[in-house]
Amino acid sequence: MKAYLSRRYRLSAAHRLHSPAYSDAKNREVYGKCNNPHGHGHNYIVEVTFSGPVDAATGMVVNLADVDGFMRREIVDRFDHQNLNQQAIFEHLVPTTENLCREIHRIISAGFKHAKLERVRIEETSNNFFEISE
């Protein structure tokens, strides 16, 4: 039997959607107001879902303290109140929320070994959210 644990984290970050492969006119056409040269910000909600068997001794899928510590160190501290365009992982990627979601999934998958990562979901606005899953 498999159980799931989902947890939400909040972070605020700025970004400018701009591709060096496009002209300024094409960037404005593709990204609209999100191509503002000064950038813009979001209050993101990052939701992660882990799965696994319920441990007989602890009664848990994964220790929430382990999840919280990892997410704080590796995700929240890294991205909160930052300009995503200045992050090394976005040196060759447009910092769309799709790419942020993909990179957060990659970071967690590579570094958190206590349970299986099923999904990363990022809410960018009340109308937009993005998901990456296995």
The residue from 38, 81, 103, 105 that is catalytic is 81
Catalytic residue list contains 131: no
Catalytic residue list contains 34: yes
Catalytic residue list contains 124: yes
The residue from 15, 34, 38, 74 that is catalytic is 34
First-to-final CA distance of the chain: 18
**If DSSP codes are grouped into helix, strand and coil, which group holds residue 92?**
coil
The residue from 47, 74, 118, 124 that is catalytic is 124
CA nearest to 77, candidates 13, 125, 132, 129? 13
CA distances from 71 to 43, 65, 66, 74, 130 (A): 16, 10, 9, 5, 18
Active site residues per annotation: 34, 81, 124
